[in-house]
Amino acid sequence: MNFKRAVIKVGSALISPDGKGCSSKYVLAIAQFITACHQQNKEIILVSSGSVAAGRQLIHHGSPELAIQTKQAMAAVGQMQMMANWQRFFDVPCSQLLITHSDLKDRQCYNNIKNTLRILLDNKIIPIVNENDTVAIDELKVGDNDNLAALVALVSEADSLFILSDVDGVFTKDPRSNTDAKLIKQITEINDDIYAMAGATKNHIATGGMKTKIEAADKATENGIATYIINGTNSHVFEQLLQQRNPGTHFVAKQDYAKAKKHWLKHTLRSNGELLLDAGAVNAVINNGASLLPSGISALNGNFVAGDSVNLLDNNTKKIIAKGICQYNANDLQRIKGCNSEKIYPLLGYCTSQVIVHRNDLVIL
């Protein structure tokens, strides 16, 4: 459990226990845990539900079964309340990222989200992510923030995912109606039997249930991200986490995240272009663990777009030395190759990144 970067998903039942706006009842202990993580040089990304619940009392409605437009209006006003509630518990700045499922499907948007998260973390700012309920429609909605958290863990390249619930974890039976139900401390394989143990939520404020949490764990562990379902209403669980003890259900990652990503880059992702590097860039990438800067690119081949995989070649030997994800398309890269990073904005009118291939998006061949 010695994680370096984690996504923490906080559900509506923890943000608004009574469904009447934001509360500090459970959030305070969560914020204290995040602060303790920062003191240990751990990076945290929050995926916070609760905008609809936070705005529920401010929008007139006559039924617990709300129309999508009513929920969107509640989310619009509640998002402000929820962000203010989080910020008051931290001495460091918080940031807001509102995304939809369509953003995560679009290659350029996916790349932009990843870069934004990377820069925020580098600057010690807490990213707080939520689904953009005010513009999302049913066909595009992730549907619940459990699955959204798993996708954010993938985008942010986290090694751990903590899903905070109002139960201790996955039980052999429903603990609310079975006194002999036992907590499952560790799950190494998510199969039909595990899904069969999940029941739907009985909380009308919440959008997910144990099933969506297991779905999220399935997505995350498949990609090398250790996942935990823990009881966010019990402040003692955070003490256990800081002591590297598992207080809930641990879904074991199927492989090491770093190895999983390198395997994906090396064997699965198809390259759509080539970047030819000068001697200095070759040495920096291979021997110094550096990112690729535009100044080190002598030439390029291919008609690739930003977010595509490209091969990195030694311009002298023409041999492939590495492979990675390019931050710029071929046309724009043609204009900035050989230049210092400070010249990117003057030449293009925008600057997605000061590096062309980030070290974390690169594998040496």
- Tens digit of pLDDT for each residue in 274-321? 999 999 999 999 999 999 999 999 999 999 999 889 999 999 999 999
How far is residue 305's CA from residue 298's CA, in Å, rounded to a whole number?
19
Instruction: Give residue 359's domain range.
Output: 269-364
pLDDT of residue 158: 93
pTM of this prediction?
0.78
Contact 78, 19 (CB under 8 A): no
The answer to whether residues 235 and 88 belong to one domain is yes
> Is 262 among the domain residues?
no
pLDDT of residue 265: 75
> Is 334 among the domain residues?
yes
Whichever domain contains 114, its CATH number is 3.40.1160.10
Kindly state the tokens that stand for 224. Answer: 């090398």
Kindly state the tokens that stand for 118. Answer: 């990377």
Tens digits of residue pLDDT in 124-142:
999 999 887 666 655 445 5
> Is 165 among the domain residues?
yes
> Is 124 among the domain residues?
yes
The answer to whether residues 234 and 281 belong to one domain is no
- Share of residues in the chain with pLDDT > 90 (%): 56
How far is residue 22's CA from residue 12's CA, in Å, rounded to a whole number?
9
Asked whether the predicted pLDDT for residue 206 surpasses 60, the reply is no
Write down the mean pLDDT value for the chain: 87
How far is residue 24's CA from residue 222's CA, in Å, rounded to a whole number?
34
Tens digits of residue pLDDT in 321-334:
999 999 999 999 99
The answer to whether residues 82 and 220 belong to one domain is yes
The answer to whether residues 273 and 253 belong to one domain is no
How far is residue 186's CA from residue 189's CA, in Å, rounded to a whole number?
9
Asked whether the predicted pLDDT for residue 111 surpasses 50, the reply is yes
Asked whether the predicted pLDDT for residue 93 surpasses 90, the reply is yes
Number of domains in the chain: 2
Distance, CA of 70 to chain centre: 28
The pLDDT confidence band at residue 56, using thresholds 50, 70 and 90, is: confident
pLDDT mean over 182-209: 73
Task: Name the helix (H) or strand (E) containing 136.
Answer: none
Tens digits of residue pLDDT in 138-174:
544 555 788 889 989 988 989 999 999 888 999 888 7
The answer to whether residues 210 and 252 belong to one domain is yes
> Is 94 among the domain residues?
yes
pLDDT of residue 135: 64
The pLDDT confidence band at residue 54, using thresholds 50, 70 and 90, is: confident
Asked whether the predicted pLDDT for residue 19 surpasses 80, the reply is no
End position of a domain, from candidates 257, 290, 311: 257
The answer to whether residues 116 and 251 belong to one domain is yes
The answer to whether residues 217 and 321 belong to one domain is no
> Is 249 among the domain residues?
yes
How far is residue 227's CA from residue 147's CA, in Å, rounded to a whole number?
12
The answer to whether residues 111 and 43 belong to one domain is yes
> Is 83 among the domain residues?
yes
pLDDT of residue 200: 46
Asked whether the predicted pLDDT for residue 215 surpasses 50, the reply is yes
Kindly state the tokens that stand for 273. Answer: 């272009």
Whichever domain contains 299, its CATH number is 2.30.130.10
Contact 267, 297 (CB under 8 A): no
pLDDT mean over 332-340: 96
The DSSP bridge pattern shows strands 309-314 and 271-277 to be: parallel
pLDDT of residue 355: 95
The answer to whether residues 235 and 357 belong to one domain is no
The answer to whether residues 239 and 293 belong to one domain is no
The answer to whether residues 150 and 130 belong to one domain is yes
Contact 355, 341 (CB under 8 A): yes
Kindly state the tokens that stand for 356. Answer: 């062309």
Contact 281, 297 (CB under 8 A): yes
End position of a domain, from candidates 257, 288, 304: 257
pLDDT of residue 302: 94
pLDDT of residue 140: 40
Task: Name the helix (H) or strand (E) containing 81.
Answer: helix 68-87
The answer to whether residues 74 and 142 belong to one domain is yes
Kindly state the tokens that stand for 340. Answer: 């210092």
> Is 319 among the domain residues?
yes
End position of a domain, from candidates 235, 257, 279: 257
